[in-house]
């Protein structure tokens, strides 16, 4: 019996070397019936030219089977990753739509493991297992920010939705949800609409080594201000994926301890850093305490704006 088709959506922006690795890993998947949809969000690093060559090759192949065909969408302006994913959803023809980021590599059985989890009609989405770099790699801050090796968080770098769910509730909200947490919002929206989900630790993708600098870390601090809006929008569901929010009110309580006892903690951390630290010194001193304080400022400001209690 023919297996139902899976559409794999890969948004990309200025990451040509990583994209090539991602594409190769998906093409090597053992699932027998899938298509790949690459959406270039107005890259300027040669990605568009590379994808146009793939598109021309696809169009020139006669009698090509419908599985594993690569569809190419090239945006004429930079619309953001949410809209790039939505463009892929619009042309997807599969029973399920799987998402992977352009800086990730999929294991050979990734799609098969996702597909086998859809055991009932009310199961709306499956959360996959995202591992940073390689198995058993502990990493350092801020590498741990992209780890999801418990398949707990509904990150769009490794997740699959039933297509009818996306048709019913809509896609990623990048316009009204500008916090780089549109994947969490979509999952909460689906869950609130009555759709079930499961996690699959066997559906693995590996996040390629990321380049972190001070400006990237500053930008990431803004992402955490999503929580007041999520709490306001989904007051009974916003803790479904077990965020680090004590009692639904205190966000990342351990960080308050660090800030409160900073005069004691910082010298100890500095001693540890100089003895065996591997994090770049600029990153270290950006986090302690700048990044932690900036997160709070963004969070408190949004909580006041939304009139929602999160500290």
Residue range 275-294, pLDDT digits in tens: 766 667 777 778 778 888 99
The span from the CA of 44 to the CA of 300, in Å, is: 36
Q: What CA–CA distance (Å, rounded) separates 311 from 297?
A: 10
Q: Average the pLDDT over each of 43-52, 109-118, 129-138, 256-265 and give the range with the smallest value.
A: 129-138
**Residue 62 confidence (pLDDT):** 47
pLDDT(68) > 70: no
Provide mean pLDDT across the span 222-251.
93
Mean pLDDT calculated for residue range 262-273:
79
Whether 129 shows a pLDDT value over 90: the answer reads yes
Q: Cα–Cα distance between 289 and 221 in angstroms, integer?
A: 12
Give the model confidence (pLDDT) of 206-219 as tens digits. 998 777 788 888 88
Q: Name the residue with higher pLDDT: 162 or 284.
A: 162
- Answering whether pTM is above 0.75, one says yes
Mean pLDDT of 150-172: 94
Return the percentage of the chain with pLDDT > 90, whole number: 66
Please state, in angstroms and rounded to a whole number, the distance separating the CA atoms of residues 253 and 311. Answer: 9
The CA distance from 43 to 16, in Å, is 9
Mean pLDDT score, 101-114: 96
Residue-level pLDDT at 63? 44
20-41 pLDDT, tens digit per residue, is: 999 999 999 999 999 999 999 9
Which among 4, 16, 21 is positioned nearest to 205, based on CA atoms? 21
What local confidence, expressed as pLDDT, does residue 64 receive? 45
Nearest to 293 by CA among 266, 259, 261: 259
The pLDDT of residue 35 = 96
Complete domains list, the chain, with CATH: 6-211 (3.90.550.10), 231-306 (no CATH)
Mean pLDDT for the chain overall = 89
Q: Is the peptide bond before 289 cis (omega within 30 degrees of 0)?
A: yes
Is residue 1 pLDDT above 70, yes or no? no
Higher pLDDT, residue 278 or 18:
18
pLDDT computed for residue 180 by the predictor:
84
Phi, psi dihedrals of residue 231, rounded to the nearest 5°: -65, -40
If you average pLDDT over residues 68-93, what whole number do you get? 94
Q: What is the pLDDT of residue 60?
A: 60
Q: CA 46, CA 254: separation in Å to the nearest integer?
A: 44
Check residue 54 and give its pLDDT. 87
């Amino acid at each position: 019996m023919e297996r139902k088709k899976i559409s794999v959506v890969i948004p990309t922006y200025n990451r040509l070397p990583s994209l090539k690795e991602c594409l190769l890993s998906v093409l090597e998947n053992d699932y027998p019936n899938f298509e790949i949809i690459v959406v270039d969000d107005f890259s300027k690093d040669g990605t568009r030219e590379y994808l146009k060559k793939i598109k021309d090759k696809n169009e020139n192949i006669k009698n090509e089977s419908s599985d594993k065909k690569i569809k190419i969408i090239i945006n004429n302006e930079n619309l953001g990753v949410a809209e790039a994913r939505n463009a892929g959803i619009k042309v997807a023809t599969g029973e399920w739509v799987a998402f992977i980021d352009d800086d990730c590599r999929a294991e050979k059985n990734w799609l098969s493991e996702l597909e086998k989890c859809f055991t009932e009609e009310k199961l709306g989405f499956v959360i996959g297992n995202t591992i940073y770099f390689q198995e058993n790699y502990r990493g350092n801050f801020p590498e741990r920010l992209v780890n999801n090796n418990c398949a707990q968080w509904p990150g769009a770098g490794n997740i699959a939705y039933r297509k009818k769910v996306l048709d019913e509730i809509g896609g990623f909200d990048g316009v009204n949800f500008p916090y780089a947490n549109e994947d969490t919002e979509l999952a909460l929206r689906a869950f609130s609409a009555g759709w079930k989900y499961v996690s699959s630790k066997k559906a693995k993708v590996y996040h390629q080594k990321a380049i972190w600098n001070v400006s990237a870390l500053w930008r990431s601090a803004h992402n955490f201000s999503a929580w007041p809006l999520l709490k306001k929008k989904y007051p009974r569901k916003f803790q479904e994926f077990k965020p680090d929010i004590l009692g639904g009110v205190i966000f990342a309580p351990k960080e308050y301890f660090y800030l409160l006892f900073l005069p004691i903690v910082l010298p100890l951390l500095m001693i540890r850093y100089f003895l065996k630290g591997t994090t770049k010194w600029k990153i270290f001193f950006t986090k302690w305490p700048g990044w932690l304080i900036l997160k709070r400022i963004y969070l408190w400001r949004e909580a006041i704006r939304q009139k929602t209690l999160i500290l």
